[in-house]
Amino acid sequence: MAHPRLTNSLCSSPLRNLNPNPKLIPLCTCSCRPFSSQSLILHSHPLFLAKPKPLLRFARRTGPPLVLAAVGQAEPELPQTSAPTVIPEDEEDLPSKSQQQLRNRVVFGLGIGISVGGIVLAGGWVFAVALAAAVFTGAREYFELVRSHGITEGMTPPPRYVSRVCSVICALMPLFVMYRGHIDVSVTSAAFVLATALLLQRGSPRFAQLSSAIFGLFYCGYLPSFWLKLRCGLAAPALNTRIGATWPILLGGQAHWTVGLVATLITISSVIAADTFAFLGGKAFGRTPLTSISPKKTWEGTIIGFCGCIVTSAVLSKIFSWPIPLSSAIGLGVLSFFGSVFGDLTESMIKRDAGVKDSGTLIPGHGGVLDRADSYVFTGALAYNFIKTVLPLYGV
């Protein structure tokens, strides 16, 4: 009886030609049957005398996926083909985006400049309402910055209802100044209402909440209100202004050109000149960083902006024939410049702590209201106090 592990498959194989009477060849070496010498016939077949084919293995390469390489042979060198450079869609759109942003910046900048010029010329309640709207929007942006993740890591922000109340109070301050003529009582009352709202909140009030809210009241409400005092509070006519002599009577005539209107135009124009010359000078000659708060600002650009601000103030004082002493015009230009720089740096410090680039997205190409008005926050108060306190000492 044949062993179940024996096979007679060689009968149908080419070995039949070598051995016409094939015998069973044991292919197992188990202890049931000794290994027969007849199995050596298998090893004499040409198929087994041929050189064995090399084994195959997989080799991982960094370029193409997987390449079959023979053991004992060098891996074939594949031609180095330069892969096509794929430009991300964001990089492809960078030139168009920058051009679009520049276009929006120019268009909206001109629109804002013309609108502000008309509002300043109109004065009165038109100026007060426009200032109140800008103050309310700026206050909302400020409290959103305070509530941002970068600032709230180290402090507790005021509740949202307190932020809204403070924004409304800031917007009412210019209107109160327009109606009453002063601001001291409104600030005191506003601080009391704010502190009461914080103390009555649920939970445990924090000093950080009070300090951030009071600073917002001062930064977004009290300081901008000086622009109303500067424009509408200095009602004495600028008699030496030549433009006033030719101003249409339907628009107020010469009496419309007051000291407040002339001072407001000179101060705003000086701030615009300081920002413009500082930007252009920094682009052309900027090498030395001014401060870590705003890395893009340089000493070279700041010096050029200072010179441009002084020249603009002096030239406009000659055009409007106010103030008459050149030293007074230079002093007003110096205060306008420093108020512009420190206002800009203050807002940059708040945005840097908040971890954002812009305070808002209301104005395309410019950001938020605070981004455009940061240079004017301190300037109005400095210009008003300079005109009311310093100029009278020189008989102006």
Extents of the domains making up the chain: 116-233, 236-395
Distance CA(378)–CA(363), nearest Å, equals 22
Strand intervals (E) in the chain: 56-60, 66-70
- Type of residue found at 162: V
**Residue written as token pair 């002096």:** 314
Q: What is the pLDDT along the chain (396 residues), one digit of tens a residue?
A: 444 444 444 444 444 444 444 444 444 445 544 444 444 444 444 444 445 554 444 444 444 444 444 444 444 454 554 444 554 554 445 557 777 777 877 888 888 889 999 999 999 999 999 999 999 999 999 999 998 876 767 677 888 888 998 999 999 999 988 888 777 767 888 888 888 888 887 777 888 888 899 999 999 999 999 999 999 989 888 877 888 888 888 888 888 899 999 999 999 999 999 999 999 999 999 999 999 888 889 999 999 999 999 999 999 999 998 888 899 999 999 999 999 999 999 999 998 888 888 888 888 877 889 999 999 999 999 999 999 999 888 766
- Provide the pLDDT for residue 366: 77
Q: Helix crossing, 259-285 with 326-354: angle to 10°?
A: 60
Burial of 322 (0-12, 13-18, 19+ CB in 10 A): buried
Question: Could you give the count of Cα atoms lying within 13 Å of 57 in the half-sphere of its Cβ?
Answer: 10
| Residues 167, 168, 171, 176, CA torsion sign | negative
281, 304 contact by CB (below 8 A): yes
Distance CA(11)–CA(9), nearest Å, equals 5
Contacts with 14 (C-beta within 8 Å, 6 or more apart), sequence order: 45, 47
> Would you state the structure tokens that stand for residue 353, as one six-digit string?
């702590």
- Provide the pLDDT for residue 274: 95
Give the distance, in angstroms, between the CA of residue 382 and the centroid of all CA atoms in the same chain: 28
What angle (nearest 5°) sits at the alpha carbon of residue 270, between those of residues 264 and 273?
140
Distance CA(297)–CA(91), nearest Å, equals 26
Is the peptide bond prior to 323 cis by the omega test (within 30 degrees of 0)?
yes
Contacts with 76 (C-beta within 8 Å, 6 or more apart), sequence order: 67, 69
- Provide the pLDDT for residue 266: 96
**Residue written as token pair 């004065």:** 123
Q: Helix crossing, 184-199 with 207-217: angle to 10°?
A: 150
What angle (nearest 5°) sits at the alpha carbon of residue 114, between those of residues 258 and 274?
80
Q: What is the pTM of this model?
A: 0.73
Nearest CA to 224 out of 128, 359, 124 is that of 128
Looking only at the bridges linking them, the beta strands covering 66-70 and 56-60 are antiparallel
343, 379 contact by CB (below 8 A): yes
Nearest CA to 344 out of 316, 385, 309 is that of 309
Q: What is the largest CA-CA distance in the chain?
A: 139
